[in-house]
Chain A
Amino acid sequence: MKNYTKNWKGSSELAPASKRNSQGSSWYRPFLPLIGIAACIFLAVTLRIYYSEKTEELNRQSVRIHRELRKTQNEIVYLKNQRERFSSWKYVNAQLQKYNIALREATSTQVKHLRTLDPAPRRAGRTQGVAAVRGNDSYQYNTTSYINRN
């Protein structure tokens, strides 16, 4: 490869690269590796700072999420405690009494007779099935039995 150079007198001449290097412009050559190393260090430091910043950002984000999680966890624990308080029999019983809700214990003597009044509903049940298929919704299902309570 050939390069044109211009001398101080204004005339240009074609000089081979080997000759030009050997003539005086080669004094900075020993510093080239140093500059290269410095550039590498600079690049490495810049990259390090860049990635550290990114990591820190993520770190902060994770801390924030961690805090949120802990808050949610606390809320869950708080609600769990509240649920246990409200589901305790003492509390339920107090509410039943407060609002006078008629809650009776079932006893075996409550059902005295179980009597089928009309055997027809069995047939009616079958009819209803057919009626439903036909799209007849007006059919009323008969009560099969009555429970006499004390």
Chain B
Amino acid sequence: MTQSGLICTRMKIVLILFLLGIIYVIFVLYRVQIERHEELLKKARDKYTTQKVLTGTRGEIFDYEGKLLVGNIPTMDVIADPSLVGDEPECRRIAYFFSQHLRIPFRQTFGRLMRKEIEYEDPVTHEKKTKPRRYVVIERNVDYEQAQALIELEKKENFKGLSFCDSFKRNYPKNSLASNIVGITTSDCDRIKALNGIEKQYDKDMQSQKTVSVYERSRDGVPISYGFNEMAEYKNGRDIFLTIREPIQAIMEEELDKLMAESKAKAVYAIMADPYTGNIMAVAQRPTFNPNDREEITPDAYRIRFAEDTMEPGSIMKPFTVAGALDLGVVRPETQFSINGGLWYYAGKPLRDSHPNSILSVTEIIKESSNIGTAKIALEMGNQQLDTTLRSFGFGQKTGLFRTETRGIYHPLKRWNKLTPTRICMGQGVSVTPLQLVRAYCMLANGGHPVTLRLVDRFEGDGEVKKLPVQRAPSIFHRPQTHREIVSMMKLVTEPGGTAIQAAVPGFSVAGKTGTAQKVIGGQYSNSKYIASFVGFIPADKPRFVLLVSVDEPSGGKYYGGSVSGPYFRAIAERTLKYQYVAPDIPLEQWEAKRKEQMQRHNERKRMIALAEQRRRAERTSAMNR
């Protein structure tokens, strides 16, 4: 064989071997890629595919102007992998580190780190097996700044198997401010559970959506761009903007703290609402709680008193009866009623007035808060009309602000007895929530238009703004002058001779009504426990707000609505008006002069009454002597 023939043969052999090699590779590829494709792909996916649960943040709560009331604050969870942290001395070192910096008991951390394995039952063979423990929570929700410092320290210490994961927790930057309204949440495993208030009411809207992303990852956990991935987008909860204004809320809460301290009451609460829109501008109660300090929360503080508690309103109810009677043309402001010297028997039961008078006009009945006068007006109206009037003011109907709200007690007409109209008109035998009272006073202030109270103004989220509509119905008054007449009467309450002189705000006309309701204890009216309230609107003719201040069981010596709640009505109203830059509706000098004149007139009237009384007594004595 020639040399060239030999080379050719060798080349052919090499080529054939090469071809055989290629054929083998193709065969192996065929087996791997086609025959065992599913099996191997599953194995690979199991190894490199990971699942990640992504959760958005819960919606936040803001006041009307966008000031944060409830937010989510970033925190960090400290996680350890016991299989990586090391042996006992290393675990001791880590446990000591966290006991020093996070004040976690040493034994707790050490115990967790030393449990290196988990026992489990094999689902197929039902044998007990062990596997390495890879996940232990050292501490949840570590403060963000503290966590950042810890990360730096941890790097210096060179611990292994520790990681810091981002998390969020509910934060209340204003502490106890509006805490009863906004409510609180708690975490149940990794789920946020709303407990009360707005948090519970709008839980569905505020909840974030949890999504599971499945993706192939590289060794360091980064998703592979060309690998299989199903990345789901999570959704944050919707933010809620309330109708309350934080500065006004702060003013109200500050004054309520003073009132609580002064009156030594069981509870106090105040509600301020815009009579035209029904927007709650501020609402507060004492006792209350600080949501950032859960250990101090008591059931008394936790309850939303102004929605869940009912009270007999007392004299606060009188203007509704009178407004109804005026509107129906049953009485006129100057119509006079005999007050029988302050004691009147009806259906065999006595009815008393705190001020003994003989004759009072309808205007004076409101000014002096006469029970007898109001009862007589109610009787003039008749049961049917009285019931229709009170129902049209919303008594017996929920305001819809909270799910936990109560309806109050308002008996249907068929259950009324002979005495009912004489009692219900002055706020006895009926129980209402403070919210219902404020809604009814909004109607008195705005000319009789029923409004729906609003606490939530709008929702924001996903680039959408959903505004809740203002609902205002046509006026319930048939006569246009009814509103003016009842407001004029209510203005007198804060003027000299009225029951709430201390509620007057210099430079402004205040229309309001006091209420001193006896509490029902064991089915009987108590002579020592009262609810002292004052509710009014200011400026009377074009009100900026309706404000109710109520004190439950004042024990500081005073118990009348005018003297207990009146001064704080004034304080809250005065500061709020200043904050809102509302100009006085009467120049201050004029207001002072008018006040002085009214005081003189009132003193003169009192003197005349005293003289008349003296004369009457003298006549009676001389008649007896004769």
Contact = CB atoms under 8 A, between A and B. Distances in A.
A4 B575 CA distance: 113
Contacts of B145: 78
B250 A56 contact: no
A122 interface: no
The range of chain A's interface size is 20 to 34
A56 B3 CA distance: 53
Contact of A90 (B73, B250, B507): B250
Given A78-B144, A84-B173, A108-B588, A63 B223 contact: yes
A119 to B, nearest CB: 27
Contacts of A75: 74, 144
Interface string B50-84: 00000000000000000110011110000000000
Given A78-B144, A81-B71, A84-B174, A59 B225 contact: yes
Contact of B74 (A59, A60, A78, A105): A78
B105 to A, nearest CB: 28
Contact of B71 (A80, A89, A105, A108): A80
B226 A52 contact: yes
Contacts of B166: 70, 74
B88 to A, nearest CB: 34
A93 B588 CA distance: 29
Interface string A86-107: 0111100100000000000100
Contacts of B2: 8
Contacts of B226: 52, 55
A90 B37 CA distance: 67
Interface in B130-177: 144-145, 166, 171, 173-177
A45 interface: no
B47 interface: no
Given A85-B174, A87-B67, A93-B254, 7 more contacts: A52-B226, A58-B225, A70-B166, A78-B144, A81-B68, A81-B171, A105-B575
Interface of A: 8, 27, 31, 52, 55-56, 58-60, 63, 70, 74-75, 77-78, 80-82, 84-85, 87-90, 93, 105, 108-109
23 contacts: A8-B4, A55-B225, A56-B225, A59-B222, A59-B223, A77-B71, A77-B72, A77-B73, A77-B74, A80-B68, A80-B71, A81-B68, A82-B173, A84-B67, A84-B68, A85-B174, A87-B67, A89-B177, A90-B176, A90-B250, A105-B575, A105-B578, A109-B588
